[in-house]
Structure 1
Amino acid sequence: MALSTQDALIYLMIVSAWSDTAMSEVELQRIEDQILRLPVFAGFDTERLEEVANSCVDTLNGPQGLDGVLDAAVAAIPHRLQDTAYALAVEIAASDLRLEQEELRYLEMVRDRLEIDRLTTAAIEASARARYRRAH
């Protein structure tokens, strides 16, 4: 079954949160916040979030694993939302204020599969760093 665009974006955020082997409460809350406030999720039934998350995990644990999740998600995201997809993945990875090597590798995989240029990805990454920088 093909994913909807919104489901695909959620898949990328969920895997971003789990890419360091643990989804923190901060990351889970950030996913929910993004779904509630961003225009790209307008009309998404938040009651479906658990169902979408479980489907993502099932795909991850299936025979195609991470490649299957990425293939399905990228196929469902229109070209005009490729940068949005990457920005959401970066946002979730950065939300707990530390990026582990696994998260960086995952973001690299997402970046390589999406059709966005390096300048755009660098700007997205710099923007996330600026938003999550602490005063002390």
Structure 2
Amino acid sequence: MTSAQDALIHLMIVAASSDSAMSEKELKRITALIDRLPVFESFDRSRLEEVANACADLLNGPDGLDRVVGEAVAALPPKLQDTAYALAVEVTAVDLHLEQEELRFLEMLRDHLSLDRLTTAAIEVAARARHRRLPA
């Protein structure tokens, strides 16, 4: 059984790698989120590599993506579903450009979570606002 913290990390990893490549910015954002968010306060940081490898093993197995998402969502209590979606959006939004694969992953995740469209839209708008830069 996957812990809720492991599930959140798995979803961030899948979000970051959904466009076939995890950028340095995405990796740094995942690490920063784990280091600063209250939901990860009790997470043993030394387990991060182990959790990431477990995610990769699941992804490379039969029905990889569906299995990772399904197991992660099943491990989350209802009150962390919006957190899971917010973390996935945060990781994909870090480079201010979402590829089609990232958009499809977020859509897939929305379909698995018990969140209304207004909540997911608010999370998406907030992430865009946090990542904006001043015009050049």
| TM-score normalised according to structure 1 size | 0.98
Aligned to 2:88: 89
Superposed, 1:1-136 pairs within 5 Å as 2-136=1-135
Letter of the 1:17 counterpart: A
Structure 2 spans left out of the alignment, 5+ residues: none
What CA RMSD, in Å, does the superposition of the two structures yield over aligned residues? 0.6
Structure 1 spans left out of the alignment, 5+ residues: none
CA deviations on 1:43-80 (whole Å, 9 max, x unpaired) are 10111001000000100000121000001000000001
| TM-score normalised according to structure 2 size | 0.98
Letter of the 1:5 counterpart: A
SS at match of 1:44: coil
- Give aligned-pair identity as a percent: 69
Q: Which runs of 4+ in 1 moved over 6 A?
A: none
Paired residues, number? 135
